[in-house]
Amino acid sequence: MDLARQLFDEMPKRDIVSWNSLITGYWKNGLMEESKRLFNSMPLRNIVSWNSMIAGCIECGSIDAAFRYFSKMPERNIASWNVMIAGFIRYGMVEEAVKVFDEMPRRNVISYTAVIDGYGRIGEVDKARRLFESMPSWNEVSWTVMISAYVGSERFDEAREMFGRMPCKNVVAVTAMITGCCKEGKLEDARVLFEQIRDKDDVSYNAMITGYAQNGRGEEALRLLVHMIRSRLRPDQYTLVSILGACSSLASLTEGKQTHALVFKHRLDTHVSVGNALITLYSKCGCLLEVESAFEHICTPDIVSWNTIIAAFAQHGLYEKALCFFKKIELHGSEPDGITFLSLLSACGHAGMVKESLYWFDSMKNTYKVSPRCEHYACLIDTLGRSGQVVTAYKMIQEMPFEADLGVWGALLAGCRFSLNIELAELAAQEIMKLDPKNSGAYIMLSNIYAAAGLWRKVSRVRRLMKENEVKKQTAFSWMEINNTVQYFVGGDVSHIAIDEIHTVIMQLYLQMKVMVYIA
């Protein structure tokens, strides 16, 4: 910009175009104050000058200043109105945008489309549809924005109806429908649409990859990433966040590290969302040194970053580490929120630290003014239950300012395993069954508590109730990565190719644990 200003100052004669060019150049480079000074010193202004200042204020985050320029304009063209509407929409001020739209002497397709987009963003889809139908004509963007509004509100049937009516389907509209199908869980339909796109771009790949990752089909997400790279498309931060999420759900360290290499290759390791995804991945895989390294590479950690790393150490029972990062939050200008305290309470629970759990629960309410939610109570009750203090835990439930949910009653029921408090176990199980009659976990937990107490008749009664109420135990399974392949194990299944070897190793481990007095 210094060179541009020098050339501008050396011009023997300047016209309004040169003034406008420099004004726009300044704000596009984040120098809004220079734009204002230059605008104020202009000998003559035109509509383009005013429009540039409005756009600059919007781009630099000053929507109020933008509206002041808009209000002072001696005359406006349709672009002036449109840029002001788009600015209000960008900052979520839909009501103000509609007011400007209503005052417009003349509108075009851009005006209508901007307001439709605004309505869609706040979930006012019916208003968006009425405005869409009132348009004199539509373009591809209008159709796409309306389809996206339906998808964003999860009104998938109407999105399909609109997509079917669209005369010329562009890649953006098809991508919106791919997102909708993935949200609806119809991944095969999404893939059919994806394959119909002739010239796939990174956005369409991202939609399909994200759909696979969020629906638990991580391996297909990974395969599609390979296809994307072979198509000479560059994965961006959105692609890699989804892929890292897929690797996390698979607990696949090998693919995770390969994806991390891509992150470095494309210099995205400082990006906050990518860093957060890396922390989650390495935490799931038990690589805590890599967790810290990923955190340290984030240029400006946000509260999600802090919460993620505290949760990582909490899940591994490292209370002191979790506490260390908690103390750093305020030093770095962030404020702990409900999720932060949930992770800290979880760390206390994993470490069996009842006193500390009670301290942080009290601090959350009274020092940090964060209102506890059901999940905070559930975490504290779980910690109390593990230490045998189920009576105290139950008193806390009775004092809750809102109704206990499944998580709270489930924590109390689980705690009754340690103290064999039959009365409270039965009460907690009854509350769970009221909230979720088909909850197999409550039946099985209660049955196990009865068995531990030697109440075999009650065990039989619970099993009978499960059968009468058609409650089926959910199949448990686990997985691990062996030689770059994810192996799945289902409870009671003997079909695995290496089942004999697996049973031998399990027996060896069992005997070693017995010798070490881990099993009585």
Q: Please say whether the beta carbons of 442 and 413 come within 8 A.
A: yes
- Angle, to 10 degrees, between the axis of helix 319-331 and the axis of helix 338-350? 160
Terminal alpha carbon distance of the chain: 76
Q: Which residue has the tokens 């290759």?
A: 265
Report pLDDT digits (tens) over 301-354: 999 999 999 999 998 989 999 999 999 998 888 899 999 999 999 999 988 899
DSSP string, 376-398: HHHHHHHHHHHTT-HHHHHHHHH
- Report which of 191, 123, 188, 109 is spatially closest to residue 151, judged by C-alpha positions: 123
* Per-residue pLDDT band at 510 (split at 50, 70, 90): confident
Report pLDDT digits (tens) over 159-178: 999 999 998 888 999 999 99
Encode burial over 497-507: b for 16+ CB neighbours within 10 A, e otherwise: eeeeeeeeeee
Report pLDDT digits (tens) over 183-229: 999 999 999 999 999 889 999 999 999 999 999 899 999 999 999 99
More confident residue, 1 or 242: 242
pLDDT of amino acid 77: 92
Instruction: Count Cα atoms within 13 angstroms, Cβ side, for 174.
Output: 22
Enumerate the domain spans of the chain.
Answer: 200-300, 393-474, 481-520
> Which contiguous run of DSSP H or E holds residue 489?
strand 485-490
CA distance 392 to 127: 52
Coil/strand/helix, residue 314 = helix
CA distance 256 to 235: 15
pLDDT of amino acid 519: 44
Report pLDDT digits (tens) over 59-69: 888 899 999 99
Report pLDDT digits (tens) over 109-161: 999 999 999 999 998 999 999 999 999 998 999 999 999 999 998 999 999 99
* Per-residue pLDDT band at 490 (split at 50, 70, 90): low
Q: Please say whether the beta carbons of 329 and 295 come within 8 A.
A: no
Q: Please say whether the beta carbons of 450 and 459 come within 8 A.
A: yes
Report pLDDT digits (tens) over 263-292: 999 999 889 999 999 999 999 999 999 999
pLDDT of amino acid 518: 42
Q: Please say whether the beta carbons of 269 and 281 come within 8 A.
A: no
CA distance 315 to 296: 20
| Percent of the chain whose predicted confidence (pLDDT) is above 70 | 92
- Tokens standing for residue 489: 């194990």
> Which contiguous run of DSSP H or E holds residue 39?
helix 32-40
CA distance 120 to 114: 10
CATH 2.40.50 applies to domain 393-474: no
List CB contacts of 55: < 8 A, sequence separation 6 or more.
Answer: 24, 27, 66, 83, 87
- Report which of 80, 38, 83, 37 is spatially closest to residue 59, judged by C-alpha positions: 83
Residue 9 predicted with pLDDT over 80: no
Q: Please say whether the beta carbons of 480 and 509 come within 8 A.
A: no
- Report which of 112, 69, 109, 62 is spatially closest to residue 88, judged by C-alpha positions: 62
Which range, of 5-9, 57-61, 160-164, 248-252, averages the lowest pLDDT? 5-9
Q: Which amino acid appears at position 264 of this protein?
A: F
The DSSP bridge partners found for residue 490 are: 477
Report pLDDT digits (tens) over 449-473: 999 989 999 999 989 888 888 777 6
Report pLDDT digits (tens) over 419-452: 899 999 999 999 999 999 888 888 899 999 999 9
DSSP state of 77: -
CA distance 496 to 479: 12
Residue 477 predicted with pLDDT over 60: no
Q: How many helices (H) and strands (E) does the chain have?
A: 30, 2
List CB contacts of 41: < 8 A, sequence separation 6 or more.
Answer: none
* Per-residue pLDDT band at 406 (split at 50, 70, 90): very high
